Every structure is written in structure tokens, then in C-alpha cells.
């Protein structure tokens, strides 16, 4: 049977295949298997895998696409693609393939996860991961850069920890090869992963499309003038960091004995924006001092000034593209390092939101010498308000290469993967969209529809990680953008073939990147095991089903509530009730079978209930499987993010 490409995106005369088709790959079982690449127009291309083969003809644009017949799980196979050239792909298996995508918590590698040592002792090469290299584009690309790796103690450190935990759990249950295609970028928004055409069709996102269209039409001129304006503006907008100051803390002989220890990677406290100093003393031999010519610190969010022995060796601010996630690697002039004591000092600043060192400890190096341990820190001060004459932030002449520019990651890191045969996708993102949580109720479904459209495999499964608990617990907080984002994720998770994994109980109030990724991946796997592989497992924690009111008492009925209990044996926490005045008060809660009975002396006539509706709710309600109850609200009152676009 001859199956030719119907969509052509690039013209080339050289023979080759897409990067996904490489050694150690996993192909999706029980579905036709798309294979594509490039050759001279009109040339016949044959693809063989085991006893199966398919033939196609290269289109006039130079692109071919053929479909191998569906295969059962198995391997290893050798795949050959033959046209004017020949590509041989070894160690190929057929099994289950899933995409894992999102922002930094999906990008978070196994090397930094809590279960690293246990994971290294239990690797199986039948679990594999293709990691897409970061890239941006204003137009859809034909291919990505990346490679497959089979799980081993030497390889899993670079794997997405959530993706790997998900894949490991599937393999332990299904006993078929598992392939994870990892494509993520820390700090990115959902619109960056959504096609421009889709953004243009939804009234909730047309403002995003219109701003992007205007930016793309602007000529990329005046970059030098922009940099100069930014430097002036920064001294007024952030005078505490960029204003004139004697950097005494950078000095080699400065006394830091009273400073506190700092474990790397260090995250700024959740409720702090401002400047923190970090120092590290390194003893070097004469040979080491001569050999070390670079200082690597990984990424720092937002800005830094870095010193060695009192001399500034580099700084990163808004004039550096993607400054908030840029990898710091500074050159050290010959002779600056000495035999004996040397001091590295980093003055780091966070203007808003999460901040600090965001790469793994192993990213910190002086030359080839690891320097991730033994750091000290001291708070310089909280962020000061801008000066009265600061004015608005200068606008870059063009930031269209930014990973957060609409559609850039969709074009460069998602679109080229289609139509690789997959079972589904898992998604851990939302922190960067929390301030526009209500818009996310439309934006994320748009993105999912877009992905399903380009992969052309129907409404494939799409499972979402709900944001973890984060930031300081506040008993007076009854409105929260993060709670609204979680609500949006739950809303989207009820779309056909979607689901939401709740992790409201395993976050870290001081770290937006909690290190427990095994539980995250395994909770996602529970959803897949039940909905896609039809296993008899509980796949959700207790969730709101209905509510009845009798006088001052509210009875909340929960589904997925078998063995309903609390983790600490105390009464359920984090329930609030309100009357018609819309003023929230904490409720006393009592478990009664699969229901929770609520009362509050402050609310004699309750009309609405919220559960877990804070940035960091102190929850304790679980079912017999230990899965936490899903945060919820029963009211339809306006949200604090409702008008944000």
C-alpha cells in the first residue's frame, strides 16, 4: 500500500528523517505508525519495521510521510528508511508513548528529585525518554533537535522527573515498553504552547493574538537605544539593586561569619522580593587557580551581580534575553584567582514572584570544580518602591524570540512532533498563568484542541497536574489567584478524555519547585491506568458532588470518598462557609461516611462552601488510597482574576 504525505511544510533535496526517528525510540502500539522525513521530490521511500513495511512517494515540496500498520507491543526491532539514502534505526521498541510538557515543574530533572537514589536502583531500559532541545520560532518548524535515551543509572538524572515517574509506574503495571517525549520550558505561559490561529478565534484570547500580531509587524530596530534606556530605567525602578552602592559584601576579606548557611539551589522565601547576598569560599591549588577560567551558576531569577575576590566578573539584567532563566556563565580574567582562599559573591535580586537559583546544585562550578555546597547568605533588604520619576518600563523593539511570545514553543517544540503516534499527553503548567486564572479556563482548552488537531489522533487523553500548595499559609486568605488557577485546571480536566491530578498536599511553601515528583507522576499514572488501560484503581481523591443546607448546617457529599478520613486524625481543615453577604468564615467540619458536615457560629445562614481555597491551604482530607480531596467552590461569585487578560 502506498501512503503519501498530504501536508508539506519544507522543501529539501537531501534525504533524512525527523529527529524523533532515532536509536532507542519507542513507537505507539495498536495504532498506525507515522514516519516522515525528506527526500528528492517524486522519489519512492520504503519504511520497514520487523515484518511490516510501508511505501510512499516524496511530495513536490520534498517531504514524505508513510504509515506503518499498527503493531503489538514488542521489540527490539531495527527500522530502516530507504529512499535516495538509507537510515537504519536500532534498538526500537513498540509500546506506549506519551508526551510530557509544561513549564519548570515538568522540566525539573530527576537529578534534583527526592527519589533519585531509589530511582537509580530500579531502572529498566524499557522506559525511555526523548528530550526536545529548547527552541523558539514565530512559524511552525519541520523538526526538533533531541534524542532518545533508555533509562539507566547514568541517564535518568537528565530525565523529566514527573515524566519518568509516570512512565515507570505505567511500565510496572503494563509491562510494555514506555516512551516519554519530553518538551517543556520553565517559566512559560500556556499561550506560548498554543498556535496563533487558535488564539485568534477565541474572544478570551484575541487580545493575546492582537498584541503578538502587532509585535511581529514591528521592525526589530533600536536595540542599542533600548539597552541604554533599560539601564537608566532600572536604576529608578529598582533603586535598591541598581542604584549606587558600595559592594562591601563582595570583598575577599569581608567577615561573613554571622551569615546563614544556604543550600543550593536556593529559592527566595515565597513572601519576599528584594536582594540577597550569597558567598562561597573556595580553596584552590596554584594549578586549579590557573586552570579555572569560567564561573557557572546556573539560572538565577531575576537579576544578579557576581564577584570573584571583590571584582565584578559579570551581571545579568533585563538587557539579556530571557534573563530570568538565562544560564549564568562568566569569564574569569587570568590572575584573578589565587592559590589558597578565593571568595565568590553573588548579589541576587528578585522583583516579583518566585526567585533565586533555579538550576540544580551540580550547575554551580568554578571551571571543572563543583562548588554547589558550602554557601552562605544574608538578606540585604526587601524591594523598595520605584522612584517617582521612574516612568513605564522601556519596551523592547522586538521580543518575538522570547519563549513566552505567543505560539513560539508550539511552533518550535510541539508542532514538529506531530503526527507521531501517541497514546496521550501529561501537562504540568499554570504557575505563569495564575494571575490570569479565569482566562485559563478558555486558554487551556484551546491549547488542547490545537494539539489534538495537529496530531490527528482524535481526542487523545490529556491529563493535567493541578498546582501544588505554595507560599505562606494565611488563615485570613479567602481569595487566591492560585486557587482560581486550580479551579480552572479542574474545570478543564472534566473535558472529554481529560483528567486532573491533585497535589495540594505535597507542595513546599518555600519552593515553587517541590522535590517530590514521584507522587506527582504516579497520581497522573493512576488516571491513565483507570481511563485508558481499564485497571481497577482509584484515580482521584475525594471531590465535590453535591451540597444540602439545613438551617446553619451544610452537608457536603463527596465522590471518590471511600474510607474518607484525615491524615492526622484531627477534624477536616480548610473548609470555609459564607452567607449572602459573601463574607467567608472557617467552618467546623465533621466526617460522616462520604459526607462532611459543616457549621460556623459566624454564619447562621450559609449559602456557599469553599475548600482549600488559598495559595497554601492546610488540607488533611483524603480517601482510603491516601489521595487528597480536590479543592472546590460551590459559589458562582466573581473571581479576582475574572477581568484580567
Find how far residue 532's CA is from the centre of its chain.
24
Cell of 120: 537509580
The answer to whether position 199 is within a domain reads no
645 in a domain, yes or no?
Answer: no
Same-domain status, 22 and 164: yes
For residues 548 and 526, membership in a common domain is answered with no
Residue labelled with grid coordinates 486558554:
443
Alpha carbon 157 to chain centroid, angstroms: 17
Res. 422: pLDDT tops 80: yes
CA-nearest of 427, 623, 626 to 524 is 427
pLDDT in tens, 123-155: 999 999 999 999 999 999 999 999 999 999 999
In a domain, 219, yes or no: no
Give per-residue burial for 27-40: e unless 16+ CB within 10 Å, then b.
Answer: bbbebbbbbbbbbe
Spatial separation of the C-alpha atoms in residues 120 and 162, rounded to whole Å: 15
Give the confidence band of 205 by pLDDT, cuts at 50, 70, 90.
very high
Q: Are residues 32 and 137 in the same domain?
A: yes
pLDDT greater than 70 at residue 13: no
Q: What whole-number distance in Å separates Cα of residue 164 and Cα of residue 522?
A: 10
Would 203 be classed as within a structural domain? no
144 close to 417: Cβ distance less than 8 angstroms: yes
Instruction: Mark whether 503 and 575 lie in a shared domain.
Output: no
Shared domain for 165 and 69, answered yes or no, is: yes
**Reduced DSSP (H G I as helix, E B as strand, rest coil) percent helix, strand, coil of the chain, to 5:** 20, 30, 45
Q: d(Cα 31, Cα 423) in Å, to the nearest integer?
A: 9
Q: What is the CA radius of gyration of the chain?
A: 27
Average pLDDT of the chain, as a whole number: 93
Look at residue 593 and tell me if it is in a domain.
Answer: yes
Tell me, what's the pLDDT at 455? 98
- The C-alpha cell that represents 626 in the structure block: 491516601
Residues 365 and 429 in one domain: no
Residues 158 and 57 in one domain: yes
Domain boundary among 509, 531, 553: 531
Q: What's the pLDDT tens digit per position in 429-462?
A: 999 999 999 999 999 999 999 999 999 999 999 9
Q: 459 and 411, same structural domain?
A: yes
Give the lowest-confidence range in 236-245, 528-537, 559-568, 597-606.
Answer: 236-245
What is the three-class DSSP state of 228?
Answer: helix
DSSP letter at 216 equals H
**377 and 256 within one domain:** yes
- Structure pTM? 0.78
For residues 276 and 426, what is the distance between their CA atoms, to the nearest angstrom? 36
**Buried b vs exposed e over 585-594: b needs ≥16 C-beta within 10 Å?**
ebbebebeeb
Q: Are 421 and 516 members of one domain?
A: yes
- Alpha carbon distance 496, 463 (integer Å): 11
**What is the tally of structural domains in the chain?**
3
| Domain match, 483 and 415 both | yes
Triad 125, 128, 129: Cα angle to 5°: 150
The whole domain housing 604 covers: 543-633
In a domain, 217, yes or no: no
Q: How confident is the model over 16-61, as pLDDT tens digits?
A: 999 999 999 999 999 999 999 999 999 999 999 999 999 999 999 9
Say whether pLDDT at 10 is over 80. Answer: no
Beta strands 178-184 and 86-102: pairing type? parallel
Is 60 buried (19+), middle (13-18) or exposed (0-12) by CB count in 10 A?
Answer: exposed
Residue 193 lies in a domain: no
Return the bridge partners of 331, or none: 294
Return the CATH number at 289. Answer: 2.60.120.260
* CA–CA separation, 511 and 472 (whole Å): 10
Q: Is residue 216 part of a domain?
A: no
Does 550 share its domain with 516?
no
Q: Report in angstroms the alpha-carbon separations of 260 from 249, 263, 385, 476, 556.
A: 14, 10, 27, 31, 47
Place of cell 536502583: 121
Q: What is the CATH number of the domain that holds 115?
A: 3.40.50.1110
Amino acid at each position: 500500500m502506498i501512503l503519501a504525505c498530504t501536508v508539506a511544510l519544507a522543501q529539501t533535496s537531501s534525504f533524512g528523517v525527523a529527529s524523533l526517528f532515532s536509536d532507542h525510540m519507542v513507537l505507539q502500539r495498536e495504532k498506525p505508525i507515522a514516519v516522515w522525513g525528506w527526500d528528492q521530490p517524486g522519489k519512492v521511500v520504503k519504511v520497514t519495521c520487523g515484518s511490516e513495511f510501508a511505501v510512499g512517494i516524496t511530495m513536490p515540496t520534498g517531504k514524505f510521510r508513510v504509515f506503518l500498520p499498527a503493531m503489538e507491543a514488542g521489540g527490539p526491532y531495527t527500522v530502516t528508511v530507504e529512499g535516495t539514502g538509507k537510515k537504519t534505526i536500532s534498538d526500537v521498541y513498540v509500546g506506549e508513548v506519551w508526551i510530557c510538557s509544561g513549564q519548570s515543574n515538568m522540566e525539573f530533572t530527576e537529578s534534583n528529585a527526592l527519589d533519585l537514589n531509589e530511582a537509580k536502583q530500579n531502572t529498566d531500559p524499557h522506559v525511555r525518554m526523548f528530550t526536545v532541545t529548547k527552541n523558539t520560532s514565530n512559524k511552525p518548524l519541520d523538526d526538533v533537535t533531541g534524542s532518545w535515551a533508555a533509562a539507566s543509572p547514568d541517564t535518568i538524572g537528565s530525565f523529566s522527573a514527573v515524566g519518568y515517574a509516570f512512565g515507570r509506574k505505567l511500565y510496572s503495571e503494563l509491562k510494555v515498553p514506555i516512551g516519554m517525549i519530553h518538551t517543556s520550558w520553565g517559566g512559560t505561559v500556556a499561550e506560548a504552547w498554543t498556535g496563533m490561529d487558535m488564539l485568534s478565534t477565541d474572544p478570551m484570547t484575541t487580545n493575546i493574538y492582537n498584541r503578538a500580531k502587532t509585535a511581529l509587524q514591528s521592525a526589530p530596530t533600536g536595540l542599542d537605544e533600548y539597552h541604554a534606556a533599560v539601564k537608566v530605567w532600572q536604576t529608578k525602578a529598582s533603586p535598591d539593586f541598581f542604584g549606587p552602592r558600595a559592594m562591601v559584601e563582595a570583598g575577599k576579606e569581608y567577615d561573613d561569619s554571622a551569615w546563614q548557611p544556604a543550600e543550593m539551589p536556593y529559592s527566595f522565601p515565597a513572601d519576599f522580593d528584594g536582594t540577597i547576598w550569597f558567598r562561597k569560599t573556595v580553596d584552590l591549588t596554584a594549578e586549579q587557580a590557573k586552570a579555572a577560567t569560567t564561573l557557572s551558576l546556573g539560572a538565577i531569577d531575576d537579576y544578579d551581580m557576581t564577584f570573584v575576590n571583590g571584582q565584578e566578573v559579570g551581571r545579568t539584567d533585563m538587557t539579556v534575553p530571557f534573563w530570568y532563566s538565562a544560564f549564568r556563565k562568566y569569564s574569569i580574567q587570568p590572575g584573578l584567582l589565587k592559590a589558597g582562599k578565593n571568595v565568590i559573591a553573588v548579589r541576587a535580586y528578585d522583583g516579583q514572584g518566585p526567585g533565586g537559583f533555579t538550576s540544580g546544585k551540580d550547575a554551580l562550578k568554578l571551571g571543572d570544580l563543583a562548588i554547589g555546597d558550602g554557601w552562605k547568605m544574608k538578606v540585604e533588604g526587601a524591594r523598595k518602591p520605584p522612584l517617582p520619576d521612574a516612568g513605564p518600563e522601556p519596551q523592547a523593539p522586538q521580543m518575538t524570540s522570547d519563549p513566552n511570545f505567543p505560539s513560539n514553543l508550539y511552533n518550535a517544540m510541539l508542532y514538529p512532533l506531530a503526527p507521531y503516534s501517541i497514546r496521550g499527553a501529561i501537562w504540568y503548567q499554570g504557575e505563569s498563568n495564575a494571575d490570569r486564572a479565569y482566562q485559563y479556563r478558555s486558554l487551556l482548552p484551546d491549547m488542547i484542541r490545537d494539539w489534538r488537531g495537529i496530531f490527528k489522533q482524535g481526542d487523545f487523553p490529556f491529563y493535567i497536574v493541578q498546582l501544588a500548595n505554595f507560599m505562606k499559609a494565611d488563615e485570613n486568605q479567602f481569595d487566591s489567584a492560585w486557587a482560581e488557577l486550580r479551579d480552572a485546571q479542574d474545570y478543564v480536566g472534566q473535558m472529554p478524555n481529560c483528567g486532573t491530578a491533585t497535589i495540594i498536599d505535597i507542595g513546599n511553601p518555600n519552593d515553587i519547585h517541590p522535590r517530590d515528583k514521584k507522587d506527582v507522576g504516579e497520581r497522573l499514572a493512576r488516571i491513565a491506568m483507570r481511563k485508558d488501560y481499564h485497571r481497577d484503581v482509584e484515580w482521584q481523591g475525594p471531590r465535590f458532588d453535591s451540597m444540602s443546607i439545613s438551617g446553619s448546617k451544610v452537608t457536603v457529599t463527596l465522590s471518590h470518598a471511600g474510607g474518607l478520613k484525615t491524615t492526622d486524625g484531627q477534624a477536616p481543615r480548610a473548609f470555609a462557609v459564607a452567607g449572602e453577604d459573601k463574607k467567608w468564615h472557617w467552618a467546623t467540619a465533621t466526617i460522616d461516611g462520604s459526607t462532611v458536615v459543616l457549621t460556623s457560629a459566624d454564619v447562621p445562614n450559609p449559602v456557599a462552601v469553599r475548600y482549600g481555597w488559598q495559595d497554601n491551604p492546610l488540607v488533611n482530607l483524603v480517601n482510603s488510597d491516601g489521595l487528597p480531596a480536590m479543592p472546590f467552590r460551590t459559589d458562582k461569585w466573581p473571581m479576582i482574576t475574572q477581568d484580567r487578560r
